Structure 1
Amino acid sequence: MRRPQTHIRLNLRSFGGVFARMSCTLVGTSGAQVPLEDGRAVILGRGPETGVADKKCSRHQVKVVACYADQDVVVTQLGPNPCFLDGEKLSRGQSGKLSHGGTLYLVNQNHPFKLHYSLSSNGRGSNSAQKGLKAADKTKGEREGKESPSSPTPKRSIRDFFSTSPTKSSKRRLGPEKGHSEAKRQRREEEGPDGQMKEEEEDEEERLAEEKLRQLQELAEKSSEKSNSSQPSSSSSSSKPCLKSSWEQIGNLMIYTAAGVRGSDKIAGFDIDGCIITTKSGKVFPTAPDDWKILYPEIQPKLASLLKKGYKVVFFTNQMGIAKGKLRPEVFKSKVEDILVTLKLPVQVFVAAGPGIYRKPVTGMWNHLCDKANDGVTVDKKESLFVGDAAGRPENWAPGKKKKDFSCSDRLLALNIGLQFYTPEEYFLGWKRAPYSLPDFDPRKLDSNARLYDPPSASLTSIKTEVIVAVGFPASGKSTFFHTHIIPKGYVYVNRDTLGSWQNCVSACERALKEGRSVAVDNTNPDPESRKRYVDVAKAAGVPCRCFQFSATLEQAKHNNRFREMAPSDTKHAKVNDMVFHSYKKHFVAPALSEGFSEILQIHFVPNFKDSQSETLYRQFSEG
């Protein structure tokens, strides 16, 4: 239910007909005072606002959100060094509550700020309060009107984004916040000239999120109230809305389902970074947890329109920094919640927090959504879509010296699933389709019935004692090939991964030849020097030495490496670092008969899948 307007907007309370205005302030021992509005997040740390110059205190040390109803403040630690709530220590990403009269120590039990809640009388039915209420009602109506999903979104051209300076573009706001103007004016009068905030700080404050749980819960209540009167179109199948926001984790997959989300047969998927948000700082990567802003003003009304049409809006994002320890999951969770509060829309968010089947462009996140996180509603891929900025676009794909896309993972995800794909500029702004390119290696085109080797007249094995030396990228299929076609014929298997050094491999080769047994050397052997060791051993034993050159390209070998990571297998393969691939490429010299080989065979990678699930996974693009 909607709360009384006096509680929502001006925090006025009636005592015998006299209205009292509640205020909340953090007061430092140096005299610094930080006013906190109800439900509005404020970032505090080192700087003029707090008077703290201690470099152990981050500029974005804590996020504080006041709750006037409970007369407390929720404090979230953002900086690397701990803060304290009275005697309770917070670590990065953790949150705690500070009650009236309690003390927040910004960093390491230093720089205390005491929390004060107070009531100030404004008189019976004062004109200022009445004007404030009218202004709040008017602003509320204006804001709701502007955020209506049915409001048309004007089409913008490419020129709109290059006719103004970057500075002006960066100050474009999502929408008007006129409802705070009266409160600001009153606060300036109370604080005096010394307490006035700079205009930049005001803009920053207005963009900060409101209290997340309350906002999202209200979304759920509104969705429930309107579920009977404003059902989605009959062409869309949907379920009841989720009533409570929640996080869950399955392995490297983190899922946030906001209050108000409902299952649907139509999914509108979006990447987050570079698609829904960008950095306020202008840097490629965010410099702080709050270094973000909504990318385009058109985004919120467009998403709202999709929800009205019966779509389920879902964000899919790769966050490898979590697995690498560079990004704390609690900090990213808080960021996700802040983004949704700013959008004021019920959205489900999937986060691939590490490598594997959930990382785009592999379809693990999408599959989990369809199978387990859509309230049992079957998804219609023909009616669904995906939008992302990792689209494989080249340098200068649009006017203004646009940079080359860092990858093609978003477009490839849509291709793997079979969804219609758009870039943010195409979908939100109506720009023309930009040029793009796909990876050189396309796993969909690999033929399982292709010829295994050339020349076809050659024989893979010999009845006479011999040495076979492999040449090829890591993950080019050498081990599988040898264990399938060569080792069962009685050849001794020599491999550096198991024997530890090339010297041990040479010794094992010599021992086998003395016993009259043939040898298969399964190493990469990129250059003549590495191959000569085995040619010389074979020559000393008086037996021929053949070369099996594996023809898989660098891109195909990398794809095989990623597939081995994801697919369950009885054969365990260690993950190969990119440096190893590029080292092989750098040192590679094509083998020649002049090195002492009696024959050179070209071995082609022909996949053999144990089941349809493995083949489906292999046929997906695995990197953008």
Structure 2
Amino acid sequence: MSNKRKVAYVESITQIEKMELDIDATDIAAKLEGSESAAAEVKSQIMEDPPAKRSRSADSLSDVKVATVSTSAVASSTMTDCQLHVAVTSTSEATQQPVGAALPIHPFFAKRSTTTAVAANAVLSNLPAVKWTHTSSVLVATYLSQPQNSRIASFDFDGTIVTVRGNHVHAKNADDWTFFHPSVPDRLISLHNQEGYRLVIFSNQKGIEGHDTRSKNRKASFMGRVENVINAVRKKAEKEGVPVPPILVFAATGDDWNRKPRPGMWEKFERDWTAGVLVEKDKSFYVGDAAGRHAGHKPGASRDFADTDHKFALNIGFPFLTPEAFWHSRTTTIPSPGRREIPRSHHAPHPSFDPRRYLRDDSTASPNVPPTFPPASTRPELILFVGSPASGKSSFARRHLLPHNYVHVNQDTLKSRDRCIKASETALQQNKSVVIDNTNPDRSTRRLYINVAQRVGTQLGKEIPVRCFWFIADEAVCMHNNVYREVMSRMERDGHWEEPARASSTSSKNKPESKPGQGLNGVTARLPIIAFRNFTARFEPPGEDEGFAEIRKFDFIPEFDSAEERKRWQIFYV
């Protein structure tokens, strides 16, 4: 253990004994060091010494002045392994202390109070306060007065600004970080001071907004790492005698419009933090590690866990770079994807599904021919939909069939297959045509409805034709539509799509407000990915031998009622 750390423990434990607090000093030592082995070292070096010897030990080590600073994002009377930092000032300052005077002690060791601590894990020293605000589903940190630059240097946080100390994935506490590359602090300082960029971080941090212990610890860890990074950049700037760069941080804490790749955090920044200054997007950039790179993009590398950072940059109209491409370069030159001298590991392949390209490609395609309808004398009929979830079936029914008085049968609404079969039978018996708006992936499921038509036809003394409308769409398109329809339904109901701040002490794994696919007060809830995989696993192409009078194929070609709908659909959501 270093002398600096020892002084901190000596003074803290001595003060505990003087105040006769009901705190076990050994336990405090273990919490401060964060491991049993370190606690044993503390105990052997300090705890076995009598109080008088400890006091003399502190005097002999008084060439440093130790100030302990511990902050927490939660109101807690216990200290976690990441809630103490030691800041050391110069010998000249330390010698100003009167002989025998106690060094400053953290309020944690004072008598207990009900006061809530401030933001997590800040190493404050001379650092101006990092201001934290949390509204709806965005946590915002501001450091120093924010400039109104027209050029933005924006970054992801984890895996881009910092990485963990080790091979694990997620940071364990506020001290579990190191800069992604040694050049990070210098480049951040240079970007602002020499190149005129404004520094903004956009990070996904789902799981820190709950009131359970795990969520609180995650929040403390994230806020602590942010403040530690800011402090490290500040120290670097002060050492070089240059201005400290202001930094602005946005963290999306939910899974809504603000979560990347969706552009909510950017829209919030543009609306509330630019003071009307027009951002030069072609001269700005975004750096992130979720780039969608394939396995082997560099020796031994696995594929990227996601491509959300790349899609976020595409959504907001910024050039995109990987961390390797940016930090390994000494200049802020945005590379062209075709430049061969740029290492392959720096490139992010374009997403396999791009909604903007999809619309452009389909603009020259022949639109789906609207269905024809039988004359009244031959009605009723039954139209059976076949297609993946979110492949456009319900929208097609609303546009083309319901205006012709078809009875809409949908299991999301009726809750069970038996009710769907019963509703179909009742409508046909009343001489009403029916559309079965379910996925109907396999022959056995489709046979249930074909049997209904045949049974009612026998009762009515006429044949009831069954037509199959087969909706064809790639899984990527359907996954996109899955989120899009939730966005639009929430926008229509609330005018926005943001999760409210949690009001009760529940786990971050709360159940959704409605069952997947089930509408709640006009909102279409998102389906889990298992719903799409289940359809694919069960799917059997429809065939005429099943008894269909016609099988019509419909490629997914989106139809919009407004330019705003079209604009929203072109955004990357997943």
TM beyond 0.5: yes
Q: Alpha-carbon deviations, 1:518-560, whole Å to 9, x = none?
A: 1101111111011111111112222010111111221111101
The residue identity in structure 1 corresponding to 2:197 is Y
Does 1:246 find its partner at 2:233?
Answer: no
> In 2 relative to 1, CA 457–406 (structure 1 residues): closer, same or farther, beyond 3 Å?
closer
Does 1:310 find its partner at 2:200?
Answer: no
> In 2 relative to 1, CA 486–255 (structure 1 residues): closer, same or farther, beyond 3 Å?
same
Aligned to 1:509: 424
For 1:442-591, what aligned pairs fall within 5 Å after superposition?
442-447=354-359, 451-453=366-368, 456=369, 459=372, 463=376, 464-540=379-455, 541=457, 542-567=463-488, 568-569=491-492, 571-591=522-542
Aligned to 1:353: 253
Does 1:390 find its partner at 2:271?
Answer: no
Aligned to 1:603: 554
Q: Distance in 1 between matches of 2:554 and 2:534?
A: 21
SS in 2 for 1:350: strand
SS in 2 for 1:583: helix
Contact 1:262-1:375 within 8 A present in 2 as well: no
Q: Distance in 2 between matches of 1:593 and 1:553?
A: 23
For 1:71-82, what aligned pairs fall within 5 Å after superposition?
74-76=69-71
For 1:152-551, what aligned pairs fall within 5 Å after superposition?
211-212=123-124, 214-217=125-128, 245-308=130-193, 309-322=195-208, 327-328=215-216, 329-344=219-234, 345-399=245-299, 401-430=300-329, 432-434=343-345, 435-447=347-359, 451-453=366-368, 456=369, 459=372, 463=376, 464-540=379-455, 541=457, 542-551=463-472
Q: Distance in 2 between matches of 1:385 and 1:106?
A: 40
Q: Alpha-carbon deviations, 1:250-291, whole Å to 9, x = none?
A: 321121111243221010001111111111022122233432
Q: Distance in 1 between matches of 2:328 and 2:67?
A: 42
Contact 1:25-1:34 within 8 A present in 2 as well: no
Q: Distance in 1 between matches of 2:153 and 2:206?
A: 23
For 1:606-621, what aligned pairs fall within 5 Å after superposition?
606-621=557-572
Contact 1:263-1:377 within 8 A present in 2 as well: yes
Q: Distance in 1 between matches of 2:467 and 2:146?
A: 63
> In 2 relative to 1, CA 425–259 (structure 1 residues): closer, same or farther, beyond 3 Å?
same
Q: Distance in 1 between matches of 2:562 and 2:163?
A: 42
Deviation at 1:211, TM superposition (A): 2.4
> In 2 relative to 1, CA 461–408 (structure 1 residues): closer, same or farther, beyond 3 Å?
farther
Deviation at 1:24, TM superposition (A): 4.0
Deviation at 1:461, TM superposition (A): 6.1
Q: Alpha-carbon deviations, 1:459-516, whole Å to 9, x = none?
A: 2666431100111111112112111210111111111112121111111111111111
Q: Distance in 2 between matches of 1:331 and 1:587?
A: 43
Contact 1:451-1:604 within 8 A present in 2 as well: no
SS in 1 for 2:215: coil
Deviation at 1:433, TM superposition (A): 4.7
Contact 2:122-2:227 within 8 A present in 1 as well: no
Deviation at 1:52, TM superposition (A): 11
Q: Distance in 1 between matches of 2:421 and 2:41?
A: 66
Q: Distance in 2 between matches of 1:543 and 1:556?
A: 34
The residue identity in structure 1 corresponding to 2:200 is V
SS in 2 for 1:601: strand
Contact 1:467-1:518 within 8 A present in 2 as well: yes
The residue identity in structure 2 corresponding to 1:459 is T
* Higher share in helix: 2
The residue identity in structure 2 corresponding to 1:211 is V
Aligned to 2:543: 592
Contact 2:172-2:221 within 8 A present in 1 as well: no
The residue identity in structure 2 corresponding to 1:523 is N
Does 1:47 find its partner at 2:27?
Answer: no
* Higher share in strand: 1
SS in 2 for 1:524: coil
Q: Distance in 2 between matches of 1:404 and 1:516?
A: 56
The residue identity in structure 2 corresponding to 1:338 is N
Q: Alpha-carbon deviations, 1:297-354, whole Å to 9, x = none?
A: 1111011100112211111111122367753334432332222222224210011111
Once the two structures are overlaid, the 10-residue window that deviates more, 301-310 or 459-468, is 459-468
SS in 1 for 2:483: helix
Q: Distance in 1 between matches of 2:78 and 2:309?
A: 43
Q: Alpha-carbon deviations, 1:139-166, whole Å to 9, x = none?
A: xxxxxxxxxxxxxxxxxxxxxxxxxxxx
For 1:51-70, what aligned pairs fall within 5 Å after superposition?
51=40
Q: Distance in 1 between matches of 2:74 and 2:428?
A: 64
Contact 1:475-1:558 within 8 A present in 2 as well: yes
The residue identity in structure 1 corresponding to 2:36 is G
Q: How many residues align?
A: 440
SS in 2 for 1:26: helix
Q: Distance in 1 between matches of 2:9 and 2:393?
A: 73
Q: Percent same amino acid among aligned pairs? A: 32
- Give the superposed CA RMSD: 3.6
Aligned to 2:13: 26
The residue identity in structure 2 corresponding to 1:421 is F
Please give the TM-score of this superposition, normalised by the length of structure 2. 0.69
Q: Distance in 1 between matches of 2:551 and 2:9?
A: 86
> In 2 relative to 1, CA 23–47 (structure 1 residues): closer, same or farther, beyond 3 Å?
closer
Please give the TM-score of this superposition, normalised by the length of structure 1. 0.64
Deviation at 1:359, TM superposition (A): 1.3
SS in 2 for 1:589: coil
Once the two structures are overlaid, the 10-residue window that deviates more, 427-436 or 373-382, is 427-436
Deviation at 1:564, TM superposition (A): 2.0
> In 2 relative to 1, CA 211–373 (structure 1 residues): closer, same or farther, beyond 3 Å?
same
Q: Distance in 1 between matches of 2:373 and 2:357?
A: 26
> In 2 relative to 1, CA 43–617 (structure 1 residues): closer, same or farther, beyond 3 Å?
farther
Deviation at 1:209, TM superposition (A): 7.8
Unpaired runs of at least 5, structure 2: 18-23, 43-64, 95-119, 235-244, 330-341, 458-462, 494-521
The residue identity in structure 2 corresponding to 1:353 is T
Q: Which structure is higher in RCO with an 8 Å CA cutoff and minimum separation 6? A: 2
> In 2 relative to 1, CA 429–466 (structure 1 residues): closer, same or farther, beyond 3 Å?
same
The residue identity in structure 1 corresponding to 2:157 is I
Q: Distance in 1 between matches of 2:25 and 2:260?
A: 51
Contact 1:267-1:379 within 8 A present in 2 as well: yes
Q: 2:74 aligns with which of 90, 94, 97?
A: 94
Q: Distance in 1 between matches of 2:367 and 2:474?
A: 15
Deviation at 1:613, TM superposition (A): 3.4
Q: Distance in 2 between matches of 1:580 and 1:483?
A: 22
Contact 2:411-2:417 within 8 A present in 1 as well: yes
